[in-house]
Structure 1
């Protein structure tokens, strides 16, 4: 009971912080930013009336691509004079989602690419994913161990067995789970302290293992911020860019699979439907 109360206090405090951070926006830009042909935000919010009403906008997590696009345009425009605030708001929202295992991080990765560009966006996505997942690890360790075991006894038991089977090459095993997620990332984040995964291994496996996923999302966001229509998105130039992004993102996973195929023991389905331990081929 005490652990639930502690977790409720942490969630409430974090929620109130994020709510007031998004509610009390600083004053909107008072002058027009320099027009840029690639800036979708300027096209949409280029009137004086929009400047005056900008401070009353209510921000929320995007739930679909349309909301994501609108939020991206809004924050790109707002960033012209309030870069520090937009950065603080984005980091706070990202850590909130990751720390409490709330779905939707892919939207925020795409948003990072659209707002901050492909390089800073990728750095932010990787760092925030790692820090947020580690905070989820610590929250689970402090408040949630027994509750997670009670909710997912079979999954925790199976993960514990796999961790013990691969204890001598644990870091490669964790990378394999991130590149080829047999277990959802949110569950792995919460159950890692229960199955005695060291936090250092956990931290770096998240940073490296989710790099391809973050790369794809951020590059997609950076690309979407530069187009004004679907016809532009499906031009040969952008299709080739998407193909190159996909190929680059597949390379780390292929290397990890190659290096670990003789070392990791994973459960596969046999012909009679029972689980059997085999090495990755």
Structure 2
């Protein structure tokens, strides 16, 4: 009971901090729009008739984009915030990312794409990898302090299976952890929470997250960079963009291919056979 109260206290404090931080969001740029004084709709003809139209300024707002036009507006707004309020944007982004990662909340792909759109390919990738690693480690520590009993009770079979695999691969545990990140036999959020329960050293865990999720972060960040620069569907399906996507895919798949080749020789992984029993691959 004490561990549950402690976890709730940590979640509440982090939520209050993030909410308080969002309250101080600086005002964004104001965009001009021309509205008809009678209908409220905008058209080229109305823009050419100053007597029938009313020019207004509307504040730009942060919202999830539903098409390419909104995506471009979001990218421009974020670039404005980055230029005018660099420190605040960095603090808010890092805080939101660590909050999501620490409490195993889905949405890392969108935040990684956002990192590419705001900070560019190199800074965005470095930031995404660092925040993913630190946030996952915080989830590891929260589970170690507060969540062991609850995780074992909620997922007894999964914890038991992971424990057995970790014991079978003790001689090459780090490469086994990399394999789990490249080819997730179990979700990343569950691996983050169950790692301290199955006695995975925190140093191995930290390094395996940084290296193992690098291809995933790379793809998401590069996608964000590309989408923020796209102005039409023709740009998205141009030969230049397609070649960029091909290069990104090849670079992301290479580490996984190397780990998979190593796993066939060294790691002990269970493969489901036709009779339902596990076979060992040495």
After TM superposition, the score normalised by the length of structure 1 is 0.86
1:160-179 matches, cutoff 5 A: 160-179=163-182
Deviation at 1:259, TM superposition (A): 2.4
Deviation at 1:262, TM superposition (A): 1.2
1:95-132 CA-to-partner distances (Å, cap 9, x unmatched) read 01100000010000000001100000000000000000
Determine the structure 1 residue equivalent to 2:149: 146
Which secondary structure does the structure 2 equivalent of 1:49 belong to?
Answer: strand
**Which of the two has higher C-alpha Rg?**
2
The 8 Å contact of residues 143 and 194 in structure 2, kept in 1 or not, is answered as yes
The 8 Å contact of residues 68 and 111 in structure 1, kept in 2 or not, is answered as no
Q: 1:244 aligns with which of 237, 243, 247?
A: 247
The 8 Å contact of residues 101 and 132 in structure 2, kept in 1 or not, is answered as yes
Q: 1:210 aligns with which of 210, 213, 231?
A: 213
Determine the structure 1 residue equivalent to 2:81: 78
The 8 Å contact of residues 163 and 198 in structure 2, kept in 1 or not, is answered as yes
Determine the structure 2 residue equivalent to 1:121: 124
The 1:64/1:178 distance shift into structure 2, 3 A limit, reads farther
1:31-42 matches, cutoff 5 A: none
Determine the structure 1 residue equivalent to 2:11: 11
| Cα-Cα RMSD | 2.2
The 1:219/1:48 distance shift into structure 2, 3 A limit, reads farther
Mind listing any 5+ residue stretches in structure 2 that lack a counterpart?
31-54
Deviation at 1:188, TM superposition (A): 0.2
Determine the structure 1 residue equivalent to 2:183: 180
The 8 Å contact of residues 68 and 107 in structure 1, kept in 2 or not, is answered as no
Q: Which has the higher strand share?
A: 2
The 1:80/1:136 distance shift into structure 2, 3 A limit, reads same
The 1:273/1:258 distance shift into structure 2, 3 A limit, reads same
* Structure 1 position 49 matched with structure 2 position 57: yes
After TM superposition, the score normalised by the length of structure 2 is 0.86
User: How far apart, CA to CA, are the structure 2 residues paired with 1:100 and 1:149?
Assistant: 17
1:225-264 matches, cutoff 5 A: 225-264=228-267
The 8 Å contact of residues 112 and 224 in structure 2, kept in 1 or not, is answered as yes
1:128-185 CA-to-partner distances (Å, cap 9, x unmatched) read 0000000000000010000000000000000000000001100000000000101100
User: How far apart, CA to CA, are the structure 1 residues paired with 2:274 and 2:220?
Assistant: 37
User: How far apart, CA to CA, are the structure 1 residues paired with 2:28 and 2:220?
Assistant: 29
For structure 1, which segment, 259-268 or 2-11, has the greater mean C-alpha deviation from structure 2 after superposition? 259-268
Determine the structure 2 residue equivalent to 1:44: none
Which secondary structure does the structure 2 equivalent of 1:262 belong to?
Answer: helix
User: How far apart, CA to CA, are the structure 2 residues paired with 1:165 and 1:212?
Assistant: 26
Which secondary structure does the structure 1 equivalent of 2:197 belong to?
Answer: coil
Deviation at 1:255, TM superposition (A): 1.2
1:213-264 CA-to-partner distances (Å, cap 9, x unmatched) read 0000000100111111222111111011001100010111111122232110
* Structure 1 position 159 matched with structure 2 position 162: yes
The 1:274/1:107 distance shift into structure 2, 3 A limit, reads same
Mind listing any 5+ residue stretches in structure 1 that lack a counterpart?
31-46
User: How far apart, CA to CA, are the structure 1 residues paired with 2:136 and 2:183?
Assistant: 17
Determine the structure 1 residue equivalent to 2:103: 100
* Structure 1 position 25 matched with structure 2 position 28: no
Deviation at 1:63, TM superposition (A): 9.2
The 1:153/1:68 distance shift into structure 2, 3 A limit, reads farther
The 8 Å contact of residues 172 and 266 in structure 2, kept in 1 or not, is answered as yes
